Amino acid sequence: MSDTAPHILTHLQARVDAWPEGFADHLPEDDWLVLNTKPRMEKRLAEELRQFGIPGLLFLEDRVHHYPGKGTQINAVPLLGGYIFAHADAGARDRMLRTNRIRHIMEVCDPQSLAADLSALMILIDRHRGPHRSIVMRPELVPGRRVRVVSGPFTGFEGIIRRRQGQVRLIVNLHLLGTCVSTTITAQDLELADGQS
């Protein structure tokens, strides 16, 4: 199908591609490498890591597009473009680089923190499933303010309120892995973080 064909994006759903089976249930706290891939090589590299027997994680977003009169197409797009998280020591570096799909490999100075961030991101993805609730406007919750989620499925997360393209909904950017992961949050589930009034 042509990329220029009119279509409607009907659904976005994030998911975790983890291997081997059960690996995501109890992430190890040592021997992590962050693989920065060449463009559009994430899924191919993930398949090669599976073949090598190197455990890892790839975060994906399934995008469902409906093309009028032509049907539906599902595309899996990396949620954190260009990154795969591999549980491997430096000894596996040469084998992974020989795939010719990696720009560079980042060693992890604090693997326990990375494992905690990866676990938090998996929780966020799991809790983001299901229909959105209605929005309750609260004047103190304005873009740029740091907030804490106090109820609902995201309880305990903190982030910065963002407003995108004039939409009247709250987006909280959660700073994980040195980047932002955005999700829609109901205003009634938020409070200002400590030290703000």
Q: Give 132-141 pLDDT, tens digit per residue.
A: 433 344 555 6
Q: Which residues pair with 61 in a beta bridge?
A: 14, 77
Q: Average the pLDDT over 76-90 and give the result.
A: 89
Please tell me which residue, 168 or 127, carries the higher pLDDT value: 127
pLDDT, residue 31, reads 93
Q: Average the pLDDT over 55-79 and give the result.
A: 85
Q: What are the structural domain ranges in the chain?
A: 8-127, 146-192
- pLDDT bin (cut points 50, 70, 90) of residue 2 is very low
Centre a 10 Å sphere on the Cβ of residue 71 and count the other Cβ atoms it contains.
9
What percent of the chain has pLDDT above 70? Answer: 70
Residue 142 phi, psi (nearest 5): -115, 160
Residue 77 tokens, joined: 């797009």
pLDDT, residue 131, reads 47
CATH class of this structure's domain 146-192:
mainly beta
Element holding 176 (H helix, E strand): strand 170-176
d(CA 185, CA 150): 11
Please tell me which residue, 109 or 160, carries the higher pLDDT value: 109
CATH class of this structure's domain 8-127:
alpha beta
Lowest-confidence pick of 23-27, 38-42, 62-66: 62-66
